[in-house]
Chain A
């Protein structure tokens, strides 16, 4: 007994951890993730995504178990990892074994023969399950052993593994990008054969995965060891050199931005356009929620109003009943009307909620959003706005006689719009208006006592947010060419709100990061679309538990020291 206490050998904890892992594995299997991911190879014919998922979980739990128990002695940690892994895999094995005798399929649709086949590796039940448990033991041991390694090789190996899985999963997109880059230099063939080194018919080739693993590990190690040194040596450079280095980075970045659609091809451009539209809305909602602290869950309403105004004013296929059939404006003429209509509604819906705070405001705005969606869908307004059939025949924007048809062309329009929104947000944030919004967010009563007119300030926030959302809606309508009420559901409001919070509430770079993570990533993983919302939900919860301030939190503005140079007495160091 005493010896156990000395070495921290806590069997109960290991088994508990293993049981948690087992429950997760069973759920993942019953959700159907294992059996559908098995069909997708990460490393051609060697490792499928489904198997990587199962052993990945076991690996992680082995690692965690070693972390919990292996402080005193690495052998204890390794044993702990093994025990945890065995418990978890045994639970999974029991599930697989029980599926047929208990006819679990009657309740759990994914407890199918395909799942059994995947987890028994195509063998008979008993030898198959023994293989499963055996391989799990190996995976958990690996996890535990990697934990006991010193930090540098440990992180190198982990980065390598993560990179192989990422590259293997995104194989198609990455090989497309490689080919496209070569295409820019008129060397499509060379590009194809270069990509062929890494990728097989599906997933990475064997040598590709080795190269990916090794290079990721080496780069991450070098980065760990050198980045600090590089930073200091960069700071030692003369200011002029530093400045020109910064300028050239900026030039390179903008060149990349300009050529992006050609580099990444049409599929990724499409995703980028969607991300940019969400970014645009994100900047708008960031003003309302992040700056002014007004929790708006019906933000999609203004998106819809912008889109419908654009549709009604430009469509060439409007039903007679709308009374707008002859209007047929161009995109650019209709745009101010679309934005204007959103602003108007922003103010109209803003007035009744002026005195509401917090959760109540959230619920009322949610109600507004749903009312607008249901009305758009109803037969009642069908003669005016098309009902469930929506509005068709919305023309594309034309710039100097050039029609922006594809996503690769529309990209420039949305990027400019998003940049404009970022610029406006940035200028407003650092102005009297932005400060009034933040003061109101912090303490409404005191803000009013400071001379801030709450009504004007709130309505301005609602109006600005609505304008950006309306702009996004107008572009969205022109991009799709047709709009349906179903496109404007609550999920969009939730998505936009989530992305600004995951990015870092009130933070401008956070909006962009949040849009890439919450909108871009799920779009990239479209083939897993069935599990998209599941992962989205889990990600939101995890994010709030682990890093509630967001991925890129808003920075504190430095204002005092800037401009102090004119004081003869110099700068006093701020006390800690």
Chain B
């Protein structure tokens, strides 16, 4: 009997180990080849890295929405990518109007702030409606049900906005003040990327302060810990859940405008891929964990930006940029398999999963 003791486990475990070692070897070998090939100069690597930070900041802001909602309701808000899209897409029209009237260039800070507020307002409206109509009635239903609702809502929102604003790609205007480069620590860096990154980080700190220090934030954490007890303590749980959606949506709204600044275009389908990426970031950092989402977003952004050129081209794969998404998804799969609690590991009990 002793021989059969670990029979079941050992096959699976050894396969997993093989997989793990294989991946690590591939990554190291690829990186070595990529670095020694000399195809890219140090400046190019630095640019990749900074772009990665900027895009990572956007991922992180969206990821916060996933993490906040997951932390409280243990549901993946599949439609969060659309919440992000709704803000960015709506704010485009404001930005465009400002651009045409000259306000964007004469008063860039005020103009961008208004654009951002519009974006946040739209995202918040959509998220609150989503919570009220699609999710609240289903609290306590089997897990599959809200997941399907979220998927349905996601498609509905995509095509509703396509119906409203049209299916074409819209080009986000760029204020003149943001074109060109700044020299930071002796290195020229695109101004847009700096602004995007700094804004994202600032928003994250504001959110962190909000959740840690304010009364509402404390109520949110209490509800995340235990809804029933929180209710007994006199916390309006429904209200807190709405607040959670709203706060997450506000972050997504900001991310939407930053996305417009960084990638220069928006359309109705823009929420899907960043949504999944941001979810990956949330999982990467440890879902339900706010600093985790921030770290996860930045890490993912950088890996996605540097990875294809570094590892994949190092391995001799042609047109490696096409496989950018594969890197993100592979990261997701690997993290979930080997370290489901994420980088800043807050372990989830089995019940929560």
Asked if chains A and B come from one complex, the reply is yes
Verify A377–B322 contact, CB threshold 8 A: yes
Verify B144–A505 contact, CB threshold 8 A: yes
Verify A359–B76 contact, CB threshold 8 A: yes
Task: Give the distance in Å from the alpha carbon of A455 to the alpha carbon of B13 in the complex.
Answer: 12
Task: Give the distance in Å from the alpha carbon of A533 to the alpha carbon of B151 in the complex.
Answer: 11
A352: which B residues are within 8 A, CB to CB?
A: 15-16, 19, 333, 337
A366: which B residues are within 8 A, CB to CB?
A: 276
Task: Give the distance in Å from the alpha carbon of A537 to the alpha carbon of B157 in the complex.
Answer: 8
Assuming the contacts A106-B93, A108-B164, A537-B157, asked whether A498 and B336 have C-beta atoms less than 8 A apart, the reply is no
**Number of B residues contacting the other chain (C-beta, 8 Å)?**
57
Say yes or no for A362: interface residue by CB 8 A criterion: yes
B residues 135-189 touching A (CB-CB < 8 Å): 137-138, 141-149, 151-160, 163-166
Say yes or no for B344: interface residue by CB 8 A criterion: no
Say yes or no for B28: interface residue by CB 8 A criterion: no
A residues 340-366 touching B (CB-CB < 8 Å): 351-354, 356-360, 362-364, 366
Interchain nearest-CB distance for B80 vs A (Å):
13
Task: Give the distance in Å from the alpha carbon of A539 to the alpha carbon of B276 in the complex.
Answer: 23
Say yes or no for B41: interface residue by CB 8 A criterion: no
Closest B residue to A445 by beta carbon equals: B350
Interchain nearest-CB distance for B87 vs A (Å):
15
Verify B15–A351 contact, CB threshold 8 A: yes
Say yes or no for B22: interface residue by CB 8 A criterion: no
Tell me which of B138, B152, B160, B323 contacts A380 (CB under 8 A). B323
B134: which A residues are within 8 A, CB to CB?
A: 541, 545
Assuming the contacts A360-B336, A379-B319, asked whether A354 and B156 have C-beta atoms less than 8 A apart, the reply is no
- Residue in A289, A351, A370 whose Cβ sees the most chain B Cβ within 10 Å: A370
Task: Give the distance in Å from the alpha carbon of A15 to the alpha carbon of B26 in the complex.
Answer: 65
Interface 9-residue window, one of A28-36, A45-53, A212-220, A272-280: A28-36
Task: Give the distance in Å from the alpha carbon of A359 to the alpha carbon of B146 in the complex.
Answer: 11
Closest A residue to B94 by beta carbon equals: A107
Task: Give the distance in Å from the alpha carbon of A533 to the alpha carbon of B163 in the complex.
Answer: 11
Say yes or no for A326: interface residue by CB 8 A criterion: no
Task: Give the distance in Å from the alpha carbon of A89 to the alpha carbon of B350 in the complex.
Answer: 52
- Residue in B16, B144, B145 whose Cβ sees the most chain A Cβ within 10 Å: B144
Verify B163–A33 contact, CB threshold 8 A: yes
A residues 11-44 touching B (CB-CB < 8 Å): 27, 30-33
Interchain nearest-CB distance for B22 vs A (Å):
12
Task: Give the distance in Å from the alpha carbon of A39 to the alpha carbon of B137 in the complex.
Answer: 38
Task: Give the distance in Å from the alpha carbon of A540 to the alpha carbon of B146 in the complex.
Answer: 10
A359: which B residues are within 8 A, CB to CB?
A: 74-76, 143, 147, 353
Assuming the contacts A363-B283, A371-B326, A371-B330, asked whether A544 and B138 have C-beta atoms less than 8 A apart, the reply is yes
Task: Give the distance in Å from the alpha carbon of A497 to the alpha carbon of B159 in the complex.
Answer: 20
Assuming the contacts A358-B353, A371-B326, A380-B318, asked whether A494 and B336 have C-beta atoms less than 8 A apart, the reply is no
Verify A364–B148 contact, CB threshold 8 A: no
Verify A354–B12 contact, CB threshold 8 A: yes
A353: which B residues are within 8 A, CB to CB?
A: 337
Assuming the contacts A295-B144, A358-B143, A548-B145, asked whether A108 and B326 have C-beta atoms less than 8 A apart, the reply is no
B residues 278-313 touching A (CB-CB < 8 Å): 279-280, 283
Tell me which of B15, B148, B165, B318 contacts A107 (CB under 8 A). B165
Say yes or no for A259: interface residue by CB 8 A criterion: no
Task: Give the distance in Å from the alpha carbon of A102 to the alpha carbon of B353 in the complex.
Answer: 50
Interchain nearest-CB distance for B64 vs A (Å):
17
Task: Give the distance in Å from the alpha carbon of A498 to the alpha carbon of B134 in the complex.
Answer: 16
Interchain nearest-CB distance for B341 vs A (Å):
11
Say yes or no for A374: interface residue by CB 8 A criterion: yes
Say yes or no for A571: interface residue by CB 8 A criterion: no
Interchain nearest-CB distance for B307 vs A (Å):
14
A363: which B residues are within 8 A, CB to CB?
A: 76, 279, 283, 332, 336
B residues 84-141 touching A (CB-CB < 8 Å): 93, 133-134, 137-138, 141
Closest A residue to B322 by beta carbon equals: A378
Closest B residue to A545 by beta carbon equals: B137
Say yes or no for A193: interface residue by CB 8 A criterion: no
Say yes or no for B21: interface residue by CB 8 A criterion: no
- Residue in A362, A367, A374 whose Cβ sees the most chain B Cβ within 10 Å: A367
Verify A537–B154 contact, CB threshold 8 A: yes
A505: which B residues are within 8 A, CB to CB?
A: 144
B157: which A residues are within 8 A, CB to CB?
A: 537
Say yes or no for A501: interface residue by CB 8 A criterion: yes
A175: which B residues are within 8 A, CB to CB?
A: none
B336: which A residues are within 8 A, CB to CB?
A: 356, 360, 363-364, 367
Verify A30–B15 contact, CB threshold 8 A: no
B155: which A residues are within 8 A, CB to CB?
A: 533-534, 536-537, 540
B353: which A residues are within 8 A, CB to CB?
A: 356-360
B330: which A residues are within 8 A, CB to CB?
A: 367, 371
Task: Give the distance in Å from the alpha carbon of A362 to the alpha carbon of B148 in the complex.
Answer: 12
Tell me which of B152, B323, B325, B340 contacts A544 (CB under 8 A). B152
A398: which B residues are within 8 A, CB to CB?
A: none
A543: which B residues are within 8 A, CB to CB?
A: 152
Say yes or no for A121: interface residue by CB 8 A criterion: no
B160: which A residues are within 8 A, CB to CB?
A: 27, 31, 534
Verify B318–A537 contact, CB threshold 8 A: no
Say yes or no for A531: interface residue by CB 8 A criterion: yes
Task: Give the distance in Å from the alpha carbon of A533 to the alpha carbon of B317 in the complex.
Answer: 36
A538: which B residues are within 8 A, CB to CB?
A: 152, 156
- Residue in B12, B138, B143, B330 whose Cβ sees the most chain A Cβ within 10 Å: B12
Verify A351–B322 contact, CB threshold 8 A: no
A548: which B residues are within 8 A, CB to CB?
A: 138, 141-142, 145
Verify B149–A540 contact, CB threshold 8 A: yes
Say yes or no for B3: interface residue by CB 8 A criterion: no
A534: which B residues are within 8 A, CB to CB?
A: 155-156, 159-160, 163
A255: which B residues are within 8 A, CB to CB?
A: none
Verify A533–B152 contact, CB threshold 8 A: no
Assuming the contacts A363-B336, A494-B151, A536-B155, asked whether A370 and B329 have C-beta atoms less than 8 A apart, the reply is yes
A106: which B residues are within 8 A, CB to CB?
A: 93
Interchain nearest-CB distance for A502 vs B (Å):
8
B280: which A residues are within 8 A, CB to CB?
A: 367
B333: which A residues are within 8 A, CB to CB?
A: 352, 364, 367-368, 371
Assuming the contacts A537-B154, A538-B152, asked whether A531 and B159 have C-beta atoms less than 8 A apart, the reply is yes
Say yes or no for B226: interface residue by CB 8 A criterion: no
Task: Give the distance in Å from the alpha carbon of A531 to the alpha carbon of B185 in the complex.
Answer: 52
Verify A545–B138 contact, CB threshold 8 A: yes
A/B interface sample: 10 pairs, CB < 8 A: A33-B163, A367-B333, A370-B329, A371-B329, A371-B330, A374-B326, A541-B133, A543-B152, A544-B152, A548-B138
Nearest first, the 3 closest Cβ-Cβ pairs linking A and B are: A540-B152, A537-B156, A31-B163
